[in-house]
Amino acid sequence: MSFELGIYHFGELTPDPATGALPAPGTRLRELVEQAKAADEAGLDIFAVGEHHRTDFVVSSPAVVLAAMAENTSRIKLSSAVTVLSSDDPVRVFQQFATLDLLSGGRAEIIAGRGSYIESFPVFGYDLNDYAELFAEKLDLLLKLREENPVSWQGRLRPTLVDGDITPRPDRELPVWVAVGGTPASVVRAGRLGLPLSLAIIGGGYRQFAPFVDLYRKAGAEAGHAPEKLKVSINSPGFVAPTHREAIEVSHPYFQAGWMANHHQRGQGVPMPKMAYEAQATAGGAFFLGSAQEVIDKIMAQYRLFRHDRMMIQLGFGNLPQKEALKSIELLGSEVAPVVRKEIAALGGTEVTA
Give the CATH number for residue 198.
3.20.20.30
Find the domain containing 203 and state its range: 4-346
Q: What is the DSSP letter of 205?
A: B
In a domain, 67, yes or no: yes
Neighbours of 268 (CB within 10 A): 8
Neighbours of 1 (CB within 10 A): 12
**Which are the contacts of 209, defined by CB distance < 8 A and separation ≥ 6?**
182, 199, 201, 306
Question: What pLDDT does 55 receive?
Answer: 95
In a domain, 160, yes or no: yes
Cα-based torsion angle of the residue sequence 216, 217, 223, 229 in order, rounded to the nearest 10 degrees = 110
| Residue in 171, 166, 64 with CA at minimum distance from that of residue 107 | 171
Per residue of the chain (354 residues), what is the pLDDT tens digit? Answer: 589 999 999 999 999 999 999 999 999 999 999 999 999 999 999 999 999 999 999 999 999 999 999 999 999 999 999 999 999 999 999 999 999 999 999 999 999 999 888 899 999 999 999 999 999 999 999 999 999 999 999 999 999 999 999 999 999 999 999 999 988 999 999 999 999 999 999 999 999 999 999 999 999 999 999 999 999 999 999 999 999 999 999 999 999 999 999 987 777 888 999 999 999 999 999 999 999 999 999 999 999 999 999 999 999 899 899 999 999 999 999 999 999 999 999 998 654 332
In a domain, 352, yes or no: no
In a domain, 354, yes or no: no
Side chain identity at residue 202, one-letter code: I
Q: What total of structural domains would you count in the chain?
A: 1
In a domain, 35, yes or no: yes
In a domain, 351, yes or no: no
Please tell me the distance from the alpha carbon of residue 193 to that of residue 296, in angstroms, as a whole number. Answer: 32
Question: What pLDDT does 349 receive?
Answer: 66
In a domain, 353, yes or no: no
In a domain, 303, yes or no: yes
Please tell me the distance from the alpha carbon of residue 268 to that of residue 151, in angstroms, as a whole number. Answer: 43
